[in-house]
Amino acid sequence: MATTATILEALKGVNSYPIPLRTLVETAERRGLKLTDSATQKALKGKCFRLTTADLLLWLSLAPNITQGGQSYSFTDEQRKQFRNQAQDIFDEFDDDLAPKATYGYKGSRL
C-alpha cells in the first residue's frame, strides 16, 4: 500500500528551490495548515493549502539566488514576475485579507 505524501512534502514540491523549513512552518501556521496532515486531493485543492502556496510563490519571487552543495538556484526576472502573478491569482481567487498590499508613499530619510 502506497503512503500519501504529507502537506510539508507537497509544499516542498512547489519549487525545487530550498525553502527553509522555518519559512514553510511559519507560512503554513499563519494559514492554519498542519504540515503533518496527508496531502489528499481535497487538502491540496483547499483554501488553506492554496493560500499557503501563494505565500510561498510570493516568497520565491523575492528569494536570493544561491549556491548550495554545488547546486545553484537562480530565477530570471520573468520567472519572478510569473511567481508574483501566480500568487496574486490565488489571492484574488479567495479574496484573501492576508494578501500583501501595495504601499505607496515616501520611504527614506531624505526628500
Cα(63)–Cα(35) distance, integer angstroms? 22
Q: Is the pTM higher than 0.85?
A: no
pLDDT for the residue 2: 56
Q: In Å, how far are 9, 61, 107 from 44, measured between CA atoms? A: 11, 22, 39
Q: Is 108 helix (H, G, I), strand (E, B) or coil?
A: coil
Exposed/middle/buried for 65, CB within 10 Å: 0-12, 13-18, 19+?
Answer: exposed
pLDDT for the residue 68: 83
Which cell goes with 2? 502506497
pLDDT for the residue 95: 85
Q: Where are the domains of the chain?
A: 7-93
pLDDT for the residue 69: 84
pLDDT for the residue 89: 94
Beta pairing partners, 6? 38
Sign of CA dihedral 48, 53, 54, 60: positive
Tens of pLDDT along the chain (111 residues) come to: 556 899 999 999 999 999 999 999 999 999 999 999 999 999 999 999 999 999 999 999 999 999 988 899 999 999 999 999 999 999 999 986 666 655 555 555 654
